[in-house]
Chains A and B, each alone.
Chain A
Amino acid sequence: MSGTKRETGFTFTIDGVEVKATAGMTIMEAADEAGVYIPRLCDHEGLRHQGSCRVCTVKAGGRSVAACTQPAAPGQSVENETPHLTKMRRDLVEMLFHEGNHLCPICEASGNCELQAMAYRLDMTEATRFPYLEPCRSLDASHPDIALDTNRCISCGRCIRASQDVDGKGVFGYVGRGIHRRVAVNGENLADTDAEATDHAISREVCPVGCIIRKRVGFAVPIGEREFDHGLIGHEIEEKRK
């Protein structure tokens, strides 16, 4: 047994595009390298996979699987951006809007927000099919440098993993069960935790929405220069293939 990488490499297809993979890679990791974008929200580069949001659902071997956790298999043909899957993802994203309080025009994450960008990518033109839940959520501004507007939290858990695995802290955690499961801080409020503005969990890239806010920098980036002003979410991955 030689054990070289070349021998464990294999190919499979996503929407007919041939993709290379090595053993142990998830479908999403292989797709990213090949320049095929699979929509996602709870998964984030550098963080452990969680597989909870289901926005990355693809069809592999006739089954619906989470591309961020499902290992790639040789010769498989995976469906990604089919009308059926796109509709399912759009429904999921729509429900996330309905579960929180999202007022994009006054939100400093607008233009940098992955949820909003996903809605654009999935062509979510109306947000009225589901009743707005209008939950009563809080804005925690207790910390001198960080604010949390939980109206916008989508419970993706990225901050929890970043704080535990990267920062070696436990600033955030889940509370409650089932549909009541929410992300909360481990303390009275944020000022009561050991959170610091320099934590990875607080960095702009970790929270996909406008929930974790670094204070006093909101709206400093002009319209036109925000992350998703340059293209649809996923365009950077897709450009690898062009």
Chain B
Amino acid sequence: MAEPRLIEISPVTRVEGHGKVTIHLDADNNVDEARLHIVEFRGFERFIRGRLMWEVPVIVQRLCGICPVSHHLAAAKAMDMIAGVDTLTPTAEKMRRLMHYGQVMQSHVLHFFHLAAPDLLFGFGAPAEKRNIFEVIKENPELGKRAILMRKYGQEIIEATAGKKIHGTGAIPGGINRNLPIERRDHFLSNIDEMIDWSRDAVKLARDYTLEHEDLVAEFGSFPSNYMSLVRESDGALDLYHGNLRALSSTGDMIFDQVPYTQYHEKIVEDVRSWSYMKFPFITELGPDAGWYRVGPLARMNTASFIDTPLAAEAHKELKAVTGGSPNNSTLANHWARMIEVLHCVEKIRELLNDPDLQGTDLVETGDRREEGIGVIEAPRGNLIHHYKVDEHDQVTYCNLIVSTTHNNEGMNRAVKDVAVKHLSGKEQITEGMLNHVEVAIRAYDPCLSCATHALGQMPLQVELFDAHGGMIDSRTQCV
């Protein structure tokens, strides 16, 4: 009889940050348990304590080299609240939105073309040397060129609104520190149509993939869950920058809707488990077993009543039609959702560029100081919560962050288990291609591990495979 085994897949490649997947096999080589471990490092919450409130939106960007703008804006929104400002000037709100759309666009493009495309184009079991962006460019130079130019466009938008491509200073408590000069606007307008065309093509690419691989998409890491995101206050439309919280069940029943995000701590609880430092949030009223939920592009496609830009709206309808209007539970459909959001962002950017408010000079509002501030935003990877308390000396006394990857913790763990059971169980030999399947499931969530771990800088992910006696059979570690 074969020995029981434990598999630990340790570094999941092409995800950002560090984590570890452990897969335990039993004596018959069946998957007994599969878990994603992310070491959450709470040093940041301590570091920020005592700092001055207007420094926070700048400091928090150091949390993550990959999504600094999301942290910048979520923190700025929390600081608006502390500054007593509930409504920004039109110029400030629109400049921040422009920054955010630029960020979501460039982040999604990076993920899709650089991190996911190799798997989608060459297959999950393809040899490792084939699964990288260089092979994608070799095979499809036009796609490679677009990937680079679309990302550059998004980064230039960030630079124009925040002053720098990464770690800028644009948003300040109560507003923004700059507007968009007309020359820069004209520069962006000069190739916005091309960006729209390319985004439409990207949506088509992701959609065709999803529809052509219907069986794979339907079973790969696919399982029901609840979904949560912000939606627009008035009508439940997709809104990446601001809105109220909405949560849906896997069958589309409303769990809660239009809840002001300042009440997030009543609606969700952050659960702790002995084997992981990362918390497992769940919806309070459903409890820890039934209340876990997913966030991110697909979650937003599920929660949003509609999209308010015409081209993305059409694409959204098409995605919804696949599941007859109910939530889509397929992990891999995230790629399609992500490209719909790229299209939405580019349409929004066009709308904003044509808005003269961007050249306005009324940049900052003031108000009556409050002690507590909560800022929530839909970051590329999903809902992002920043919560602070600030004393009468303007110093931070409390900080709590819930990042997208933490919201998705349970979902990612389920996906890992699901894929491990389906692809590794009962196999005598574990091949690299099989282990990559597990990584593909994690990558579909685009987890920002450096964010989740609150470590400063990037870390790799490991995948380790153990037998039942705890002996390591295989281990992979790779940096992005």
Contact = CB atoms under 8 A, between A and B. Distances in A.
A178 interface: no
Task: For chain B, give the interface size range.
Answer: 20 to 34
A213 interface: yes
Contacts of B394: 141, 147, 215-216
B163 A222 contact: yes
B471 interface: no
A213 B163 CA distance: 22
Q: Give the interface SS of chain A, mostly helix, strand, loop or mixed.
A: loop
A216 B54 contact: yes
A219 B50 CA distance: 18
Nearest to B179: A222
Given A141-B395, A142-B393, A224-B163, A219 B59 contact: no
Contact of A108 (B55, B162, B173): B55
Given A216-B394, A222-B178, A106 B54 contact: no
Given A105-B167, A141-B393, A223-B164, A218 B55 contact: yes
A106 B163 contact: no
Contacts of B162: 223
B44 to A, nearest CB: 12
A136 interface: no
Nearest to A139: B50
A218 B55 CA distance: 7
B111 interface: no
A220 B172 contact: yes
B83 to A, nearest CB: 8
Secondary structure call for the B interface: loop
B184 to A, nearest CB: 11
Contacts of B57: 219
Interface in A104-150: 105-106, 108, 139, 141-142, 147
Contacts of B54: 108, 216-219
Contact of A220 (B164, B364, B393, B395): B364
B99 interface: no
Interface string A138-170: 010110000100000000000000000000000
A221 interface: yes
Given A105-B62, A142-B393, A221 B55 contact: no
B169 A223 contact: yes
Nearest to A216: B54
B273 to A, nearest CB: 33
Nearest to A219: B169
B52 A219 contact: no
- Residue of A213, A220, A224 with highest tally of chain B CB at under 10 A: A220
A110 to B, nearest CB: 9
A213 B167 CA distance: 21
Contacts, number: 57
B58 interface: yes
Nearest to B391: A141
B288 interface: no
Given A141-B52, A147-B52, A221 B177 contact: yes
Given A106-B58, A106-B59, A141-B52, A219 B393 contact: no
A223 B178 CA distance: 9
Interface in A80-118: 105-106, 108
Contacts of A139: 50-52, 395
B82 to A, nearest CB: 11
B163 A223 contact: yes
Contact of B177 (A213, A216, A222): A222
A224 B161 CA distance: 11
Interface string A197-237: 00000000000000001011111111111000000000000
Contacts of B50: 139
A78 B237 CA distance: 71
Given A142-B393, A147-B394, A219 B178 contact: no
Contacts of B177: 219-222
Contacts of B173: 216
Nearest to B395: A141
B58 to A, nearest CB: 5
A196 to B, nearest CB: 17
A27 to B, nearest CB: 38
A108 B59 CA distance: 10
B170 interface: yes
Given A139-B50, A141-B52, A224-B163, A219 B58 contact: yes
Nearest to A147: B52
Nearest to A221: B177
**Which of B52, B57, B62, B178 counts the most chain A CB atoms within 10 A?**
B52
Contacts of A216: 54, 173, 394
A216 B51 CA distance: 13
Contacts of B178: 222, 224-225
Contacts of A219: 54-55, 57-58, 169, 172, 177
Nearest to B393: A141
A223 B164 CA distance: 8
B169 A222 contact: yes
Nearest to A149: B52
Contacts of B364: 220
A138 to B, nearest CB: 9
A182 to B, nearest CB: 20
A139 B393 CA distance: 11
B419 to A, nearest CB: 39
Interface of A: 105-106, 108, 139, 141-142, 147, 213, 215-225
Given A223-B163, A223-B168, A224-B178, 16 more contacts: A105-B167, A106-B58, A106-B59, A108-B54, A141-B52, A147-B393, A216-B54, A217-B54, A218-B52, A218-B55, A219-B54, A219-B58, A219-B172, A219-B177, A222-B177, A223-B162
The 5 lowest CB-CB distance pairs between A and B, nearest first, are: A223-B163, A141-B393, A222-B178, A222-B177, A218-B54
22 contacts: A105-B167, A108-B55, A141-B393, A141-B395, A142-B393, A147-B52, A147-B393, A215-B394, A217-B54, A219-B54, A219-B55, A219-B57, A219-B169, A219-B172, A220-B172, A220-B177, A222-B163, A222-B170, A223-B162, A223-B163, A223-B169, A225-B178
